[in-house]
């Protein structure tokens, strides 16, 4: 060997935590700081096992349903993905003390859906069945008010009650290109359909996909650090493959790497989904360094400056 590093890593920027994830984690940590353990969290606060385990160690208790929470004065936190309207209503009826960590960009989609409904429009939601964000958005309105469309074929076969009175919205973590294809089908079929004032797919999802598109054609393989149930992480893997990357893999952390995937690779792309902490990216760089040395090049396609305030009640408690 000539002493040069075995791998070159093209490190995507932006990557990792977005402002909504940052805020959600801060809400749980601040609630633990102010009120002590336990703090109950409905659903994984963000889709990342490392983050969830870290918060558990500090005293967070994760549940899937409010029924699992005993009668208590300890805080309850709703996850960043958003919840159906029935959840805060049930929490209030039980006298639970709760903080809503829903990402403000998801809350924007909720408000738009409610406004369309008030104006008598039938709503088409582009998203993935079973994802908590989709369940939260559909749960803002009475059953039957929202139709979920997952593919261009779904958009082609969708039959509205009134083709002249429609609106569309999307999950915030989708593939930008896939969504554009579905929306085009809807707009071609229903020219009067009303879209959001500002794109529903969030800035962080868009920016992370753009960074991957810039890197994907230049690498032999690409790693996305993220959880299998993280929509935005799965979309990064798909975007990489479509943008010309021969092999894109999703791993939760360094221990999950199948080194056979990188045996013949010389240049590797590395990014992280919006709920994956930077420490896991560093862990993967260290693992490659130990196996044969690395040279890291940062590939930046955007600079993010977005931040979101904590809920007013928590800011007041902190003050």
Residue found under tokens 């993905």:
81
**Residue 239 · residue 191 · CB < 8 Å:** no
CA atoms within 13 A on the CB side of 177: 10
Helices in the chain by DSSP H: which ranges? 19-35, 49-58, 86-93, 104-118, 132-138, 152-157, 176-189, 203-215, 231-242, 278-292, 312-318
DSSP secondary structure letter of residue 298: E
**Residue 197 · residue 224 · CB < 8 Å:** no
CA-closest candidate to residue 232, choices 254, 215, 208: 208
CA-closest candidate to residue 268, choices 191, 310, 203, 212: 212
Q: How far apart, in whole angstroms, are the C-alpha atoms of residue 46 and residue 50?
A: 10
Q: How far apart, in whole angstroms, are the C-alpha atoms of residue 175 and residue 236?
A: 8
Q: How far apart, in whole angstroms, are the C-alpha atoms of residue 296 and residue 268?
A: 10
Write out the catalytic residue numbers: 133
DSSP secondary structure letter of residue 194: B
Beta bridge partners of 98: 76
**Residue 232 · residue 205 · CB < 8 Å:** yes
């Amino acid at each position: 060997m000539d002493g040069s590093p075995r791998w070159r890593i093209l490190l995507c920027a932006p990557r990792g935590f977005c402002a909504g994830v940052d805020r959600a984690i801060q809400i749980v940590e601040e609630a633990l700081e102010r009120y002590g353990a336990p703090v109950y969290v409905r659903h994984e606060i963000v889709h990342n096992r490392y983050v969830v385990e870290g918060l558990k160690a500090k005293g967070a208790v994760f549940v899937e349903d409010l029924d699992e929470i005993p009668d208590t004065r300890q805080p309850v936190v709703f996850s960043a993905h958003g919840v159906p309207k029935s959840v805060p209503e049930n929490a209030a009826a039980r006298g639970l003390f709760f903080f809503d960590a829903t990402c403000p960009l998801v809350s924007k989609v909720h408000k738009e859906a409610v406004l369309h409904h008030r104006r008598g429009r039938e709503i088409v939601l582009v998203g993935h069945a079973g994802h908590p964000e989709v369940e939260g958005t559909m749960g803002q309105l009475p059953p039957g008010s929202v139709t979920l469309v997952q593919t261009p074929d779904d958009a082609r076969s969708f039959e509205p009650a009134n083709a002249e009175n429609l609106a569309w919205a999307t999950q915030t973590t989708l593939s930008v290109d896939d969504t554009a294809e579905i929306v085009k089908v809807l707009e071609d079929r229903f020219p009067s359909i009303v879209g959001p004032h500002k794109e529903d797919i969030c800035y962080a999802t868009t920016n992370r996909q753009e960074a991957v598109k810039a890197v994907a054609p230049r690498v032999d393989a690409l790693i996305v650090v993220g959880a299998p149930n993280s929509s935005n992480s799965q979309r990064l893997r798909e975007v990489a493959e479509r943008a010309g990357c021969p092999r894109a893999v999703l791993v939760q952390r360094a221990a999950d790497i199948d080194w056979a995937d990188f045996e013949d690779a010389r240049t590797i792309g590395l990014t992280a989904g919006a709920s994956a902490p930077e420490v896991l990216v560093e862990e993967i760089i260290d693992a490659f360094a130990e196996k044969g040395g690395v040279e890291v090049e940062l590939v930046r396609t955007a600079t993010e400056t977005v931040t979101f305030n904590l809920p007013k009640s928590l800011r007041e408690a902190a003050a």
